[in-house]
Amino acid sequence: MQKYINFIMFFVFCAINMISAITQADDVGTRRIVPKENGTSKEMRPSDPHFQVTLVVNAKDNTFYKGEKINFTIESEVDGYYYIINLYPRNNKSGEQKFTIIAPTKKYPNNTIKAGQQIIIPGKKEKRSFDVEEPFGKETLVLLVSKTKLKPTFFGLDSFDIEESTIDKFHAAQEKLAKNDAYEWATHRVDFLTKSAPRKNEQQKSSKNNNTEEENINNIIADETEKSDKAKFALYIGVGKYQISSIPTLPAQTQVDQIAETFRNFGYSDNRVISVIDEQATRKNIIDAFARLRESTQPGDEVIIYWCGHGTRQAATEAKDSPDGLRGYLLLHDAKEELTEDGEETGIIVPSTIISDVEFGNWIKEINDRQVFVIIDACFSGTFIDPKHQTRSIAKKQDIVPFDFKTRLDKQKTRSISYKDAVAISSASRNEVGWAVGDYFLVSACLCNKINGIKKSASIANIFPPTKKLLQDSIKRLQKRNPKFTAQTPLLQGEADKFILERVEVEDKDDDKVKVEDENEDEDE
């Protein structure tokens, strides 16, 4: 009888703890894109950054549990002064968010960093630690490196002494940096989760029969919490209309609609999607959209980022910015053209009014440890991910066991989409134009065609080869009608076998497939 009672007590205890853990975790069914007024970005960034900085934390999944210690390593491409800001979770009732500067401090005032130097915080000789404690949730570390030394008053603080303050003061400091050309600076933002649930014991999970009852419960709770945390989100950007009259229009609205319909069948529901199209696709709105995506998601989520529109290449400001002297840019609705002293158009786009490959890569790097799939359908989009130019490529993910700061830093030091969990497709190489045919972008239409043919599930690695073949076959047919159609070579990079699309509704989509070779109109991107 006593053995039976012990079993019942164990079962009840297990159930209560599982319910408690799942309740603490975000329920996937209730997670949505944050409202626009909450997600609008007040953070300022250099509009055309010339150097990158990187911060990584000592958990490969960016998740920490109560009582664990957080360490981090920073690196900068240039000499400067570093400031590390901790943004606390928002207050659930007031929505207020606070921050504190955790480096430098009064006790540890040295914040100089040399180009290429890796600094571990806290250092071995420092008598301080950063322990995980309540409140639990999503927190953020921001690394800011400035070539100019900044005083505490610059951040609205009396001193660098772990002084807590409201987030508006931090945003005001960034605004001062952004509005003064004398400052050269860069930031890297890292999100991480803190949880009260216990971390799963990896060594014990394979030997369940040898575990104590408490260890089994802890592993069950960790499993259920991890499952309940993950969700799918998407950001669709289509830029087909431009204020510069000489830039041809593109069928962005139609193409985004097709992309949205395609991925909706794989769990990317409308309440977790942000769309920015045509006249909406201004620099401010796109920056805000990325901020909302970042605020809505957390480590472990699956995220699709799609962009279609015109792409271009222009001379790099500094030689180090590009191996061939050119940088890739994505054009925006409100892009501005440089003018001569007489007011004549030069054909050169003002860099601060468009999106460079470096800036786009920084945005991707900020959605840390989400599983990210990026699609860029634009001319010269290979400048963003071309594997022949490793200074502008997606670093391939490698398993990090044990955690290795240097390996992880090396993977994030590249100049463009430099993110260890990102899979990316560009519609063309760095030297090729991309084609829009009729109401659709050629590569996007071919990709949708093959994804719609998935019966149950498939990885991007499975989808890319037939997509590429369909594209090449379509271009051959188009060239027979019009020799102006030049070759277009889509590129794939990242661990594409790890990003899996799973159909949530199995239905025949043959009628929706776009036969790109039958269209009569065409335009290059």
Please report where in the chains the tokens 């953020």 appear, as a residue: 140
pLDDT at 41: 52
What pTM was estimated for this model as a whole? 0.75
pLDDT at 257: 97
pLDDT at 210: 53
Neighbours of 411 (CB within 10 A): 20
pLDDT at 91: 59
- Residues 105, 178, 375, 293: is their CA dihedral positive or negative? positive
Tens digit of pLDDT at every position of the chain (525 positions): 555 545 444 444 444 444 444 443 444 556 677 666 554 455 666 666 678 888 988 886 788 888 888 998 999 989 999 999 988 776 555 567 788 898 999 889 999 999 999 999 988 888 888 888 887 888 889 999 999 999 999 988 888 887 788 888 888 888 888 777 656 888 888 888 888 876 665 544 444 455 555 545 444 444 444 444 689 999 999 999 999 988 999 999 999 999 999 999 999 999 999 999 999 999 999 999 998 998 899 888 999 999 999 999 887 665 455 566 778 899 999 999 888 888 787 888 888 899 988 888 888 888 867 899 999 999 999 988 844 433 333 333 322 222 333 333 343 333 444 445 589 999 999 889 999 988 999 999 999 999 999 999 999 999 999 999 999 999 999 999 998 899 999 999 888 999 999 999 644 444 444 444 344 445 677
Neighbours of 325 (CB within 10 A): 12
pLDDT at 367: 85
Q: Where are the beta strands (DSSP E) in 35-156?
A: 53-57, 63-65, 72-76, 80-87, 98-103, 112-113, 118-121, 137-146
pLDDT at 275: 97
Sheet holding 273-277, edge to edge: 273-277, 232-238, 302-308, 371-377, 422-426, 491-493
Tokens of 232: 């799918």
pLDDT at 190: 87
pLDDT at 134: 81
Residues 375 and 319 sit within 8 Å (Cβ to Cβ): no
Residue 194 vs residues 149, 163, 190, 191, 198: alpha-carbon distances, Å: 32, 21, 13, 10, 11
pLDDT at 318: 56
pLDDT at 123: 86
Tokens of 281: 């696709």
Tokens of 163: 């002084």
pLDDT at 313: 87
Angle at CA 391, nearest 5°, toward 346 and 429?
A: 60
Compute the distance between CA of residue 363 and CA of residue 187 in angstroms, rounded to an integer: 11
